Amino acid sequence: MDFLDSFLARATLAGLGVALAAAPLGCFVVWRRMAYFGEATAHASILGIALALSFSTSIFGGVLVVALLMGWMVSTLSGRGYAMDTLLGVMAHSALAIGLVAVSFLQGVRIDLMAYLFGDILAVSRLDLAVIWGGAALVMLMLWWRWSALLTATLSPDLAFAAGIEPRREQMVLTIALALVVAVAIKVVGVLLIAALLIIPAAAARPFARTPERMAIIAAGIGGFSALAGLRAAYIFDTPTGPTIVCVAAACFALGSLLNLLREPITG
C-alpha cells in the first residue's frame, strides 16, 4: 500500500507543512506586533471561500486573492484617519460576516462550514497535500530570500532606508507570505485558528532564543511538535483535530513561560 493512501499519513504531512511555514513567519508577526493583521487576513478568507464556491473555482485561489486584497486595503488605508487596530477590527469582522452571509446564499452547494472554520485535516487529499507543501515551500523560500532585509525593516524603518531597503516593499513581502499561509492552512486548522498557529509557536520560542534565526528554528520545531502531538491526541481522545493542535501549542507556550519565570533571578 502506498504511504499516502493512509489518511493519517496525509494529515501528518499536512500538519508539518503548515507548521514549518507558519511558525517562522509568525516570528515576524510577533516582532512587528501584527497579530491582529494576521487574524484579519484569516477572517477574510471565509469570503474567499464563498467567492470560490460561487464561481466554481479553486478554494486555494479564492482565499489567496481575498487575503492579498485584505492586506493591500489595510496597507493603503492605514494612517489615513484611522487607528490600525480600529481599521483591522472593522475589516476583519466585516469580511467574516459578509463571507458567512454569502455562504448562506449559495444554492445547490453542500458545504461543511465547520470544516472551514475549524479545519478538517483528516480529509486532506493528495492534491491538498501538494498545494500545502507547494505554498509552504514558497513561503520558506521568500523568507530565506528576504530574511536580512525583513529583519532590518522590522528593527528600524529609518535604518532600512539608510541601507537602501524599502520598508513598504518588505511589508508587501510579508503580506504575500501571510496570504499564502492562510490559504494553505484552511484545511489544517480552519479560518478561526490560523492566527493562533502563527503566533503561539513564535511566542513560545521567544524566551529561549538569543538570535532571530534561532527563534525561527525553535518556533518551527514547536509548530511541528504541536501538529504531530495534536494529531495524535485528537486520534486518541476523539477531539477536533485543529483545535487540539492549537491546544498543544498553547500548552508549549504555558510550559515555556513557566520555565522562563523559574529561571529568572528573584529580586527583592
Q: Is residue 64 part of a domain?
A: yes
* Least confident interval from 68-82, 115-129, 141-155, 159-173: 68-82
For 209-261, the pLDDT digits (tens) are: 989 999 999 999 999 999 999 999 999 999 999 999 999 999 999 999 998 88
Task: Give the residue-averaged pLDDT of 156-181.
Answer: 89
Q: Which of 37-41, 185-189, 236-240 has the highest mean pLDDT?
A: 236-240
Q: Is residue 252 part of a domain?
A: no
pLDDT of amino acid 18: 93
Q: Is residue 227 part of a domain?
A: no
Distance CA 165, CA 192 (A): 34
pLDDT of amino acid 110: 67
Q: Is residue 181 part of a domain?
A: yes
Tell me, what CATH number does 18's domain have?
Answer: 1.10.3470.10
From the list 137, 132, 178, the residue with the least C-alpha distance to 18 is: 132
The domain in which residue 164 lies consists of: 3-191
For 43, 157, 182, 189, 233, the CA distances from 87, given in Å and listed in that order, are 14, 22, 20, 25, 38
DSSP state of 55: T
Whether the pLDDT of residue 31 is over 60: the answer is yes
Whether the pLDDT of residue 5 is over 80: the answer is no
Q: Is residue 264 part of a domain?
A: no
Mean pLDDT, all residues of the chain: 87
- pTM for the full model? 0.89
* Least confident interval from 39-43, 82-86, 93-97, 129-133: 82-86
- Report the largest interatomic distance among the alpha carbons of the chain, rounded to a whole angstrom: 68
Q: State the first-to-last Cα distance of the chain, in angstroms, to the nearest integer.
A: 64
For 27, 148, 194, 257, the CA distances from 217, given in Å and listed in that order, are 10, 16, 19, 18
Number of domains in the chain: 1
Q: Is residue 85 part of a domain?
A: yes
Q: Is residue 222 part of a domain?
A: no
Q: Is residue 94 part of a domain?
A: yes
